[in-house]
């Protein structure tokens, strides 16, 4: 993925959007239907296939069922966007026997485990959206919901603001994703090249030593010496008060990343269990480590 990815055509009122569960089985229906209602209120027709609710263990159906569903939605010219119902686990399993069909680009929206698909999609030159899934959308503040709707309509986005660690200003390709999922893409055929990349990461429910382990893997792989900057979102429930002595997750991030000599911005409003501001994956972006801002170019 050496070139910037391109956004699909802007959505128009009345466009048809379809629901997919590429990863985990749906566990809570009420927030899911609330998320569907958010899209419907924007004037879109949302297609929900009840068969997608069928599960296979912790997965939303067998690999082949989920793979076939995703391929069908991509090949259906009447569908302009794919809304992922939730994360969980399973998207990386789909990539084992997967080839993106040669079809017109359409929106793919999700985060967490959907990272695997978003990075693979960007490698095909199409920018998906790292943003709320249907089970989390209704809980987003209105400005975050509006940011997502503005993005899919082709409107400019305000920069996200966080805490700058210094390092100046860089431009590059924005790769946004979950740290744990992205770590398991390293050294696989689905791992993208990282030259000219601004890496944006978040995570949830991982103890500080687990974050340390993953970032150490990134360091040992050589990847962190290739990228141009790092944008850090929320690392929610990543403290472990049961183990003493311990590090706080912010200390782990500082220790494992602070010596790279590149611009870094932390505390950006994206990730789990809080505001998850939408960001396109694979597009041109600017990271200002001094002012603490992340700006995308649409």
Q: How far apart are CA 152 and CA 8, in angstroms?
A: 8
Residue (of 175, 125, 152, 120) closest to 5 by Cα position: 125
Q: In what order do the strands lie in the sheet with 169-178?
A: 160-161, 293-296, 284-288, 169-178, 197-204, 229-236, 264-266, 163-164
Q: How far apart are CA 224 and CA 99, in angstroms?
A: 28
Angle at 220 between CA 257 and CA 248, to 5 degrees: 40
Tokens of 71: 């391929």
| Beta carbons of 157 and 165 less than 8 angstroms apart | no
List residues with catalytic annotation.
112, 202, 272
Other C-beta atoms lying within 10 Å of the C-beta of residue 3? 10
């Amino acid at each position: 993925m050496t070139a910037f990815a391109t956004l699909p055509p802007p959505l128009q009122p009345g466009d048809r959007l379809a629901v997919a569960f590429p990863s985990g089985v749906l566990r809570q229906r009420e927030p899911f239907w609330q998320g569907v209602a958010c899209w419907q209120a924007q004037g879109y027709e949302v297609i929900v296939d009840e068969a997608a609710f069928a599960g296979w263990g912790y997965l939303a159906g067998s690999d082949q069922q989920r793979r076939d569903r995703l391929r069908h939605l991509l090949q259906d010219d009447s569908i302009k966007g794919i809304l992922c119902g939730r994360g969980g686990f399973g998207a990386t399993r789909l990539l084992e026997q997967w080839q993106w069909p040669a079809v017109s680009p359409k929106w793919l929206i999700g985060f967490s485990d959907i990272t695997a698909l978003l990075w693979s999609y960007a490698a095909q030159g199409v920018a998906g959206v790292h943003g709320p899934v249907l089970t989390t959308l209704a809980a987003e503040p209105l400005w975050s919901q509006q940011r997502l709707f503005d993005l899919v309509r082709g409107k400019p986005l305000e920069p996200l603001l966080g805490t700058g660690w210094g390092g100046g200003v860089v431009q590059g390709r924005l790769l946004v994703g979950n740290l744990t999922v992205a770590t398991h893409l390293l050294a696989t055929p689905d791992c993208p090249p990282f030259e000219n990349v601004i890496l944006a990461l978040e995570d949830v429910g991982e103890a500080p030593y687990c974050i340390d382990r993953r970032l150490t893997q990134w360091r040992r792989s050589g990847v962190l010496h290739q990228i141009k900057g790092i944008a850090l979102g929320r690392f929610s429930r990543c403290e472990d008060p049961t183990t003493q002595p311990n590090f706080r997750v912010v200390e782990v991030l500082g220790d494992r990343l602070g010596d790279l000599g590149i611009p870094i911005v932390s505390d950006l409003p994206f990730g789990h269990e809080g505001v998850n501001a939408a960001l396109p994956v694979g597009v041109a972006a600017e990271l200002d480590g001094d002012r603490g801002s992340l700006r995308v170019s649409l």
